[in-house]
A and B are shown apart, each in its own frame.
Chain A
Amino acid sequence: MDLLTGLTTLAADVPDPAGLLPARQQMALSLGWHIVLACFGVAFPTMILVMHWRGVYRDDPLALVLARRWAKVSAVLFAIGAVSGTVLSFEMGLLWPGLMGRFGDVLGLPFAFEGVAFFLEAIFLGIYLYGWGRIPPRRHLLMLVPMALTGIAGTFSVLAVNGWMNNPTGFRIVDGEVTDVDPWAAMFNSGVLWQFLHMWVAAFMVAGFSVAAVYAAGMLRGRRDRHHRLGFTVPFAFASVAALLQPAIGHLLGSRLADTQPAKLAAFELATETESPSPLRLGGLLVDGEARWSIDIPYLGSLIARNSLTAPVQGLDTIPLDEQPPVNITHLAFQSMVGIGTALALLALVYWVARWRGHDLLRSETRGGTWLLRAAVAAGPLAVVALEAGWIATEVGRQPWVVYGVMRTTEAAGNASTALWWVLGASAVLYAAMTIGAVLVLRSMARRWREGDESLPSPYGPELEPAEELRR
């Protein structure tokens, strides 16, 4: 279900349903957009919690100011995240009737749990946002705790569905009918734990690096006050822990692939044929069935994918052509994710080691400090790119299956096509408008805060004159 696989689908014998290509594009657009906001929904409350806690318990008014501003930012992000999530709920039926009609009762339960988690998050967000100055400070702070916890529960639930699509279980197919449905087995499938951890940690990388990048940019423009240092340090610390954990989690997740999804692994590694030991191929493309232009590092492929110096990575030649994912997209997306992830982990390491050795790069106006800040600014968008690349790698790598080994994506799509193309066009406009609106509003918030306007003026028209108010 992605932007590009539709162009390279390999199933030749059965004609694709007319709704397949627009459905894939539509899903790619809406999910690719939503996933970034979902990261903020999951990770931002925890970061605000730490900042707010500092303000309340260490009596730090500056931290309180930051927590309150972040809360206002999260209100905007949460609102557009919620509506784009609703889009996805509708789309499950609009775009993939074949999947939902047949497997709705197998995969649906985790969605129901996600519904509960999201409900709680929305309720406590409302309480928290409107609770400033109206709820006793310590209780107000506590309202963030359920939000942080529901972020975990919600991530687990959504990834349970994706884990199931990659490792389907909890049902049998007898004479073409789905039977013996066990939704709990489907929910706690073998892939869910590592996929969940990978995504949850990624959310902290995206939100942490993005927020830190904003303050890093401010410091590059000379605003090196305590406000900016604090606003940088807290999210950067979250992002650093996440970035350093992520390679280990990713490795454990990836090492399952040799057993569960050899075609995806072969595409990740650009393994055209089974080699023992397998090299690690950096870069490169598959051209006419051959890997070209890659830099091969011997042994490392086996070591990374199989935890062994000799075990082979199963090659694409062992997989029927109509069961191979689009290899180049999968390979490049996977490598982009790993490459950027590694760079981000190094950035975190460099910053904290230097700081531990007495070089606080945020205080120094030296070239080293400037370069580090520039890297920190780039880290925000790069974390988003890595997120999208990772998502493309796992989703495109699963093709041509929507439910791995059970149902092809072609069987999940419907037959409407003209309508779906119109919907896609309209969605592109809508999402572009939403993006512009969000950027516009967030920038105006930042500008007014810089000018010292803490409580934003009412946007509902000119304030009434006192006399006028009396007359009413």
Chain B
Amino acid sequence: MSLEIAVAAALFTGVVAYSVLGGADFGSGFYDLTAGGTRRGAELRRQVDHSIGPVWEANHVWLIFVLVVWWTGFPSTFAAVATTLAVPLVLALVGIVLRGSAFAFRKYAATVAQARFFGVVFAVSSVVTPFFLGTVAGAIASGRVPTAGEGDPWASWTGTTSLVGGVVAVGTCAFLAGVFLVTDAARAGKAGLTAALRRRVLVVGLLTGAVVLAALVPLHDDAPMLWAGLTGRALPLVLLSFVAGLTTVVLVAVRRFGPARWSAVLAVASVVSGWGVAQYPWLLVDEVTLVQAAGAPATLQGLLVVVGLAAVLVLPALGYLLWLTQTEAWSGAPGAREVQK
């Protein structure tokens, strides 16, 4: 594997990790938003806080990892995308800022009224942000970002593929989050919450699946490059995603929540990977390939050193955190000591 491809693989691993881990965080905003009034929604909102509180900050860093590796490894394309897709990027950014701060503020808010306000900000921005990030992916995949940058500020991201990317992103985030939340609720022994969440996850899952399948049709005309890849080289991943998604829905339906988490992660990871594989070898479709866009070889080597360091330091620590959240003391299982409010 060449240096460029190795760095691109590391970069794309970050994209997949952000889609899965960050996606599950963002998606929980959807359930928070639709949880109902203050009293009726309290249990679900507490579950959202409990489930993502310890991890959202760490999950968020994948985005920073992606940005940094991108501008270091493939600098000119980063500038091209940033100047062309400034509008959706800024809107996503506003969402990220509002969401992160409002989530922290809600936890320590002074009154219920304040908490409600911060909660609405958190939930709305959680739903909006993946949409705009999805449109950015769609814009790149449909070849609407010129190499020189400063492409059309609106037409570049309002094409069919972009809008489809946005909707798919919102749907997959909600689906993932739902599976995680219902698992946590079931493990904590909250029967009523589990039942309510289960129903919603099934609806969200079926809807998202339908959207993803229907979305493939317009791609044929709007993003022929991507279409060729998805129905060619990336077809196994597309099929895998379909099977894993369907499996997840079935598992949730029969209340096998533990395994459903894994198939949900597989479904999302394979659909995102499918996009990456379908787009290969282009970085900006029909404009620049990965190899053409790569920065200096010494820098790419340096980046691989950083990636190695991250693998040694970050992954075990992240694993420990994620493991802790699954232990009895942290998951709020019946009988576990609940000290931290």
The residues of A with any CB-CB pair to B shorter than 8 Å are 72, 75-76, 78-80, 82-87, 89-90, 92-94, 97-98, 100-106, 108-109, 111-116, 118-120, 122-127, 129-135, 146, 181-184, 414-416, 419, 423, 426, 430, 434, 437-438, 440-441, 443-445, 447-448, 455-464, 472
Known: A93-B71, A445-B108. A472 touches B193 (CB 8 A): yes
18 contacts between A and B (CB under 8 A): A75-B108, A79-B100, A79-B103, A92-B82, A108-B299, A109-B299, A113-B309, A115-B64, A116-B310, A133-B340, A181-B296, A419-B153, A434-B101, A437-B118, A444-B114, A455-B341, A461-B115, A472-B192
Main secondary structure of the interface of A (DSSP, over half): helix
B306 in the interface (beta carbon within 8 A): yes
Q: Chain B: which residue is nearest A418 at the CB level?
A: B153
Whole-angstrom CA separation of A122 from B97 in the bound complex: 16
B67 in the interface (beta carbon within 8 A): yes
B287 in the interface (beta carbon within 8 A): no
Known: A104-B78, A126-B321, A132-B339. A115 touches B65 (CB 8 A): yes
The residues of B with any CB-CB pair to A shorter than 8 Å are 37-39, 41-43, 45-46, 49, 53-55, 57-58, 60-61, 63-65, 67-69, 71-73, 75-76, 78-83, 86-87, 89-90, 93-94, 96-112, 114-115, 118-119, 149-150, 153, 190-193, 295-296, 298-300, 302-303, 306, 309-310, 313-314, 317-318, 320-321, 324, 329-330, 337, 339-341
Min Cβ gap A380→B in Å is 21
Contacts of B63 in A (CB 8 A): 86, 89
Min Cβ gap A406→B in Å is 16
Min Cβ gap A129→B in Å is 7
Known: A111-B68, A444-B110. A93 touches B104 (CB 8 A): no
Report which residue of B38, B83, B94 has the largest number of chain A beta carbons within 10 angstroms of its beta carbon: B83
Known: A100-B71, A134-B337. A184 touches B302 (CB 8 A): yes
Known: A127-B320, A437-B101. A108 touches B68 (CB 8 A): yes
| Contact, CB under 8 Å: A438 / B60 | no
Known: A125-B57, A441-B109, A441-B110. A83 touches B67 (CB 8 A): no
Known: A100-B71, A146-B317, A416-B83. A118 touches B43 (CB 8 A): no
Contacts of B310 in A (CB 8 A): 115-116, 119
| Contact, CB under 8 Å: A90 / B82 | yes
| Contact, CB under 8 Å: B75 / A414 | no
Instruction: Among B38, B75, B83, point to the contact of A94 (Cβ < 8 A).
Output: B83
Q: Chain A: which residue is nearest B40 at the CB level?
A: A461
Whole-angstrom CA separation of A416 from B314 in the bound complex: 38
Min Cβ gap A147→B in Å is 11
Instruction: Among B38, B82, B329, B339, point to the contact of A461 (Cβ < 8 A).
Output: B38
| Contact, CB under 8 Å: B86 / A94 | yes
Contacts of A123 in B (CB 8 A): 58, 314, 317-318, 320-321
Contacts of B82 in A (CB 8 A): 90, 92-94, 97, 100
Known: A86-B63, A109-B306. A441 touches B79 (CB 8 A): no
Q: Chain B: which residue is nearest A72 at the CB level?
A: B108
| Contact, CB under 8 Å: A414 / B81 | no
Whole-angstrom CA separation of A79 from B58 in the bound complex: 11
Whole-angstrom CA separation of A463 from B150 in the bound complex: 52
Q: Chain B: which residue is nearest A76 at the CB level?
A: B104
Instruction: Among A82, A134, A462, point to the contact of B39 (Cβ < 8 A).
Output: A462
Known: A108-B75, A116-B310. A183 touches B337 (CB 8 A): no
| Contact, CB under 8 Å: A182 / B100 | no
| Contact, CB under 8 Å: B61 / A119 | yes
Report which residue of A78, A116, A120, A443 has the largest number of chain B beta carbons within 10 angstroms of its beta carbon: A116
Whole-angstrom CA separation of A430 from B37 in the bound complex: 27
Contacts of B303 in A (CB 8 A): 108-109, 112
Known: A93-B83, A459-B107. A181 touches B299 (CB 8 A): yes
